[in-house]
Amino acid sequence: MDRVNFSQMKDGTKEEYEFLTAHEIEYTKGTAERLLHALEHLDESLSGYQITRLSHSVQSATRAWRDGADIDWVVSALLHDIGDIFAPYNHDEYAATILKPFVREQCRWCVETHGDFQMLYYGHHLEGFDKDKRERHRGSKYFDDCAEFCERWDQASFDPDYDTLPLSFFAPMVHEVFAREPYDPAVTQAPDQPLVVPETAAERAAA
């Protein structure tokens, strides 16, 4: 079978759906490469900053790596703005949806809400923006994590002079995360982890 015969889904056969499912499973194996390619296209997104959106994403991941953060945090930092091109009004939710099946809930939540938290740094300069928008999330067990995510990795990563690691450095981590079994409770419900692990940061700095 090269393709299905039906033109309406309700007319599909068991064999046709088994055929399609096998194709879809094979296609998902390329998710990491497609995401890395999409990251490269962030250079076509927002301009006006001293660095490109891709450079911002990689710099955020570099800071996370140098803080000793684990792979879920690092990949989340790398991908947190991947929705900028296609979902400029909810880019945070877009990125979180991509990450949701493959990282723990702590990281997904912080990526999904980081847009609200980032307003702390600029909302007071713009009419109609609420710099305290993050307060709607006060009480969440991840509130402090997202505040730290934004302070250490997001808002700080627009520095053209920072020694940022290349995207190729993070590519194996993206492949590792997106090769996981999607929605595996051992991953999505894994224990929370700190953003900063001084011992790991020291080991990476010495390597």
Answer yes or no: is 101 within a domain.
Answer: yes
pLDDT of residue 151: 98
Answer yes or no: is 177 within a domain.
Answer: yes
Answer yes or no: is 121 within a domain.
Answer: yes
Closest CA to 145 of 108, 170, 181: 108
pLDDT of residue 59: 98
Please provide the DSSP assignment of 100-139 as one string. TTTS-HHHHHHHHHHHHHHGGGTGGGSTT--TTGGGGGTT
pLDDT of residue 198: 98
Answer yes or no: is 53 within a domain.
Answer: yes
Answer yes or no: is 8 within a domain.
Answer: no
pLDDT of residue 46: 66
Domain limits for position 71: 13-206
Sign for the pseudo-dihedral over CA of 60, 205, 72, 75? positive
Answer yes or no: is 1 within a domain.
Answer: no
Closest CA to 154 of 117, 207, 189: 117
Distance CA 89, CA 124 (A): 19
pLDDT of residue 126: 96
pLDDT of residue 85: 87
- Which residues in the chain show pLDDT less than 50? none
Answer yes or no: is 5 within a domain.
Answer: no
The answer to whether the CB of 200 falls within 8 A of the CB of 68 is yes
Which residues does 144 contact at the CB level (< 8 Å), separation at least 6? none
Answer yes or no: is 7 within a domain.
Answer: no
Distance CA 187, CA 180 (A): 8
Closest CA to 150 of 117, 172, 196, 180: 117
- List alpha helices for 29-179, DSSP H: 31-40, 53-66, 71-79, 91-99, 105-118, 143-148, 167-178
Number of domains, the chain = 1
Residue 19 maps to which CATH number? 1.10.3210.10
